[in-house]
Amino acid sequence: MTRKLGRGAVALVAALTISVPAGLLLAPGAALALVFNDVRIEGAQRIEPATILSYANIARGQNVSPGEVNDALQRLQGSGLFETVEIVPQGGVLVIRVQEYPTINQISFEGNRRIKDEDLAGVVRSQSRRVYQPSQAIADASAIAEAYSAQGRLAARVDPRIIRRSDNRVDLVFEIREGNVTEIERIGFTGNRAFSDRRLRQVLETKQAGILRTFIRSDTFAAERIPLDEQLLTDFYRSRGYADFRVQAVAPELARERDAFYITFNIQEGPRYRFARVDTVSEIAGVDAAAFAAQNRVDRGDVYNPAAIDNTIRRMETVAIQQGLNFVNIEPRVTRNPATQTLDLTFALTRGPRIFVERIDIEGNTTTLDQVIRRQFRTVEGDPFNPREIRNAAERIRALGFFADAQVESRQGSSAEQVIVDVNVEEQPTGSLSFGASYGVNSGVGLNASLNETNFLGRGQTLGLTISTAEGDRAGIVNFVEPYFLGRDLRFGFNAAYNETENLNSDYDTRTISVRPSIEFPISANGRLELRYQLAQYRLLNVDETSSQILQDEQGERISSALGYSYNWDTRLTGLDPLTSYKLRFSQDFAGLGGDVKSVTTTALAGFESNAWREEVTLRAEVEAGAIYAYGDYSTWILDRFRGGNKIRGFEPNGIGPRDLAAENDDGLGGNYFWAARAEAQFPLGLPEEYGISGGLFADVGSVWGLDNTTGTGGTPVDDDMYVRATVGASLFWTTPIGPLRFNFSKAIRKEDYDEDQNFDLTISTRF
């Protein structure tokens, strides 16, 4: 990057001017040839005379023309060893006077606050006790400016200066004016009709500068992010049916003051295509296409989506493996029909070249074990070469989050039928130690500390420790995850937790200690099953005398030993529909394998999320329900039952459900059953999107009910019938460096007189 020179740099260059004595300027009638019987060198201290003579290359006793003397002068000057050079003929003696460049005494930096001295010292190539070179000093100044440019400070200026010392020494000083961060003031688009600039800016990795510019570094211009942004835009459009989309040009423009960038993406959307005819053909003798066609997941009328095609090819390749067919290519042939904006798609089974994977070479992993990278490949040495699978493996390696960069390429092996797959990775830190504060409307201000390592000992394991404390609530959690237990796609987890509450939204204390090992594995493309066991000790302590007789009777300790499972189905795992996602969850826990608790707890959830109105508005809806059934002589207690927390917004935790109205403090008793339906819409508020602020509207409805024991204080029966509650409200979403925050303002429109509502809530926003 070119830098203008300040006054100091101009002075430095002026000091390098070569002095040429007038004796070498020939007057009219002067001799055209000179003969020197001797050469005398003056001023040399460190440089050997023989070295100077070798550069001059003037022999004694031979005729020398003035041009040859001038050439000798140029050679000496070009050697870079001398600050000034003079060649003076004195009769038969040629005097060469030199002044050597000084030695650098020390190197210092002035004016730098953003980059430390030791970091800048690693950038410059000039060194103490070495000969000072003006050209190198200027190159070092440019390198320092480049280091600031990498931090987004393109306005940085660096001037090299020298301070003369005794004994032909100098101090080299780099005077730095850091300047402000060169931020991206505006990102614009031309050629977009289907989506607004606001929506497209959400796709990019690069962001505009906003009110949080001090914390958000993605609003500084980085040229290396532009190709990624182009790819993100391309993937976004093509997943929505725009098969002809392309980025025609990207024009980053730097403001005259060099303190702001303006970036414009010139794009061509093209038409939006839908699939018309979809079929499968076999061009391999003896291979029936019917079994492969049954795996097709692309239907007539569907919007074009490369993910749907890729999913079908993956399923067809699985059939080929099951039938023992090697070197079968599933070739998607697409025919465009621009007049009708449709695509004809044919999956052609063709015989591919007989190429095998000779080996997989992995380099650059100084911490991560080879096996962590190698298990991302579905291909091993000796298998048929599948380029698509190699690309998918590269994406899986990048998705690990262990590497700053991961490149996967293939090259010819020891023969034309062999391929070597090269994996080159660059490690990055995977551990974090954080301290923070939290706030809850009910729990107040809390402090927390967490230690997390996602690549423990380079094995790809996760190890985490979290300690938190707030008013009336203290917790500690240790979590360990092995994603490839026994070398298979088995996710082993171990969780140990301790939690205690003191009068948190109730007039009693609780203590809980639990350990939970689990195994999770896939059972379909979108579905995963978790099997778990939990051993826990629950204590209900210090129940207030004014509490319900039911709670006073339940006071004490219980041991729970339970086996459970959860089935999760989530379309986001394959990403087949970029506009709409669905999820299902069904869980059951069977307590009674020893211990005091004998119950079956069942919960289920179904939800969807969809983008509408040019993807400016996000719609979400969920339906959730649960039931706990006690068997034998066991009756549920408050720590078993559902207490409505986070089920229906607009109410305090434990704010709905059966209550003993005869008790003085009428604490919530929880219920054996609950159901809830939640719906919301999130939309922009017209503020600049770089502020990360959007709005929302929501409506919740549901209930908590049912007790095994309904005999309350003084023998008064507790009404545990199902009463419907409903709330409506508005939300403010704010994406901040500490996490996505959500402010809820709600109003209960249907409730019981004894319910405890909550009109405002501040939470960490969770994604669908």
298: domain range? 274-351
pLDDT at 410 over 50: yes
Q: pLDDT tens, 160-195?
A: 999 998 888 899 999 999 887 777 888 999 999 999
Domain shared by 698 and 614, yes or no = yes
* Residue 15 DSSP label: T
Report which of residues 39 and 8 the model is more confident about. Answer: 39
**The predicted structure's pLDDT at residue 64:** 80
Report which of residues 480 and 468 the model is more confident about. Answer: 480
Domain shared by 412 and 547, yes or no = no
**The predicted structure's pLDDT at residue 137:** 92
pLDDT band at 8 (very low <50, low <70, confident <90, very high): very low
Domain shared by 217 and 95, yes or no = no
In whole angstroms, give the CA distance from residue 551 to residue 527.
40
In this structure, is residue 12 part of a structural domain? no
> Sheet of 342-351: strands edge to edge?
274-282, 342-351, 328-337
Where helices occur in 375-449 by DSSP H, the ranges are 387-399
Domain shared by 631 and 700, yes or no = yes
Which string of DSSP letters, residue by residue, matches 62-73? Answer: SEE-HHHHHHHH
513-524 average pLDDT score: 96
In whole angstroms, give the CA distance from residue 301 to residue 304.
9
**The predicted structure's pLDDT at residue 33:** 67
Q: Return the sign of the alpha-carbon dihedral for residues 343, 349, 351, 357.
A: positive
Q: From residue 645, give the alpha-carbon distance in Å to each of 29, 124, 474, 675, 754.
A: 109, 59, 18, 12, 16
Q: CB 531: neighbour CB atoms within 10 A?
A: 13
294-300 average pLDDT score: 91
In this structure, is residue 44 part of a structural domain? yes
**The predicted structure's pLDDT at residue 205:** 86
Q: Where a domain ends, among 315, 334, 351? A: 351
Report which of residues 272 and 386 the model is more confident about. Answer: 272
Which string of DSSP letters, residue by residue, matches 53-121? Answer: HHHH---TTSEE-HHHHHHHHHHHHHTT-EEEEEEEEETTEEEEEEEEPPEEEEEEEES-SSS-HHHHH
pLDDT at 615 over 60: yes
**The predicted structure's pLDDT at residue 473:** 85
Domain shared by 263 and 298, yes or no = no
**The predicted structure's pLDDT at residue 5:** 37
**The predicted structure's pLDDT at residue 229:** 93
When mean pLDDT is compared across 551-565, 620-634, 658-672, the lowest value belongs to 658-672
What's the number of CA atoms in the CB half-sphere (13 Å) around residue 320? 23
In this structure, is residue 455 part of a structural domain? no
Q: What percent of the chain has pLDDT over 90?
A: 56
DSSP H or E segment with residue 370: helix 370-374
In this structure, is residue 251 part of a structural domain? yes
Token couple for 9: 């740099």
Q: CB 374: neighbour CB atoms within 10 A?
A: 15
pLDDT at 691 over 70: yes
**Residues in CB range of 84: below 8 A, 6 or more apart:** 17, 18, 19, 97, 98, 99
pLDDT band at 553 (very low <50, low <70, confident <90, very high): very high
Q: Where a domain ends, among 304, 331, 351? A: 351
**The predicted structure's pLDDT at residue 19:** 39
pLDDT at 11 over 50: no
Is there a contact between 232 and 203 (Cβ–Cβ < 8 Å)? yes
In this structure, is residue 451 part of a structural domain? no
**The predicted structure's pLDDT at residue 645:** 74
Domain shared by 262 and 294, yes or no = no
**The predicted structure's pLDDT at residue 376:** 93
Sequence letter at residue 224 = E
Q: Where a domain ends, among 395, 427, 459? A: 427
Is there a contact between 32 and 65 (Cβ–Cβ < 8 Å)? yes
In this structure, is residue 737 part of a structural domain? yes
Q: pLDDT tens, 436-467?
A: 666 555 556 778 888 999 999 999 999 999 99
In this structure, is residue 717 part of a structural domain? yes
Q: Which residue has the tokens 């390098």?
A: 16
In whole angstroms, give the CA distance from residue 676 to residue 704.
9
Strands 93-100 vs 82-90: parallel, antiparallel or unpaired:
antiparallel
What's the number of CA atoms in the CB half-sphere (13 Å) around residue 284? 21
What is the distance in angstroms between the CA of the first residue and the CA of the last residue of the chain? Answer: 45
Q: pLDDT tens, 206-231?
A: 888 765 555 445 567 777 789 989 99
What CATH number is attached to the domain comprising 664?
Answer: 2.40.160.50
Where helices occur in 533-582 by DSSP H, the ranges are 549-554
Query: Is 443 in a helix, a strand, or coil?
Result: coil
Q: CB 467: neighbour CB atoms within 10 A?
A: 15
How far, rounded to the nearest angstrom, does the alpha carbon of residue 414 sit from its chain's CA centroid?
A: 38
Is there a contact between 573 and 306 (Cβ–Cβ < 8 Å)? no
Closest CA to 216 of 766, 734, 736, 742: 736
Query: Is 228 in a helix, a strand, or coil?
Result: helix
In whole angstroms, give the CA distance from residue 272 to residue 244.
8
Domain shared by 263 and 299, yes or no = no
**The predicted structure's pLDDT at residue 246:** 95
Domain shared by 418 and 311, yes or no = no
pLDDT at 28 over 70: no
Closest CA to 276 of 304, 248, 253: 304
Q: pLDDT tens, 639-653?
A: 999 988 778 999 988
In whole angstroms, give the CA distance from residue 172 to residue 61.
44
Q: pLDDT tens, 720-762?
A: 999 999 999 999 999 876 678 899 999 999 999 999 999 998 8
Q: Which residue has the tokens 């980025």?
A: 247
Is there a contact between 237 and 269 (Cβ–Cβ < 8 Å)? yes
pLDDT band at 423 (very low <50, low <70, confident <90, very high): very high
Phi, psi of 680 (to 5 degrees): -155, 160
**The predicted structure's pLDDT at residue 626:** 97
Round the CA-based radius of gyration of the chain to a whole number and report it.
37
DSSP H or E segment with residue 309: helix 306-322
Helix 66-78 to helix 49-56 angle (10° resolution) is 130
In whole angstroms, give the CA distance from residue 209 to residue 693.
14
pLDDT at 658 over 50: yes
Q: What percent of the chain has pLDDT over 70?
A: 92
What CATH number is attached to the domain comprising 242?
Answer: 3.10.20.310
Closest CA to 608 of 644, 572, 574, 645: 572
Phi, psi of 53 (to 5 degrees): -65, -35
Residues paired with residue 512 on neighbouring β-strands, in sequence order: 499, 538
Strands 93-100 vs 556-570: parallel, antiparallel or unpaired:
unpaired
**The predicted structure's pLDDT at residue 10:** 34
In whole angstroms, give the CA distance from residue 98 to residue 96.
6
Phi, psi of 639 (to 5 degrees): -80, -10
Domain shared by 199 and 258, yes or no = yes
**Residues in CB range of 665: below 8 A, 6 or more apart:** 507, 544, 546, 547
Domain shared by 613 and 719, yes or no = yes
Mean pLDDT (the chain, rounded):
87
Tally the domains of the chain: 5
pLDDT band at 92 (very low <50, low <70, confident <90, very high): confident
Phi, psi of 497 (to 5 degrees): -140, 150
**The predicted structure's pLDDT at residue 442:** 58
Query: Is 49 in a helix, a strand, or coil?
Result: helix
Query: Is 21 in a helix, a strand, or coil?
Result: coil
Is there a contact between 757 and 751 (Cβ–Cβ < 8 Å)? yes
Is there a contact between 494 and 462 (Cβ–Cβ < 8 Å)? no
Domain shared by 404 and 552, yes or no = no
In this structure, is residue 21 part of a structural domain? no
When mean pLDDT is compared across 4-8, 202-206, 699-703, the lowest value belongs to 4-8
**The predicted structure's pLDDT at residue 635:** 95
Closest CA to 521 of 482, 494, 480, 479: 482
Phi, psi of 300 (to 5 degrees): -60, 130
Q: From residue 494, give the alpha-carbon distance in Å to each of 6, 167, 594.
A: 62, 69, 21
Burial status of residue 278 (CB atoms within 10 A of its CB: 0-12, 13-18, 19 or more):
buried
DSSP H or E segment with residue 10: helix 7-14
Domain shared by 636 and 743, yes or no = yes
Say how many residues make up the chain: 768
pLDDT band at 666 (very low <50, low <70, confident <90, very high): confident
pLDDT at 70 over 90: no
In whole angstroms, give the CA distance from residue 612 to residue 607.
16
* Residue 166 DSSP label: T
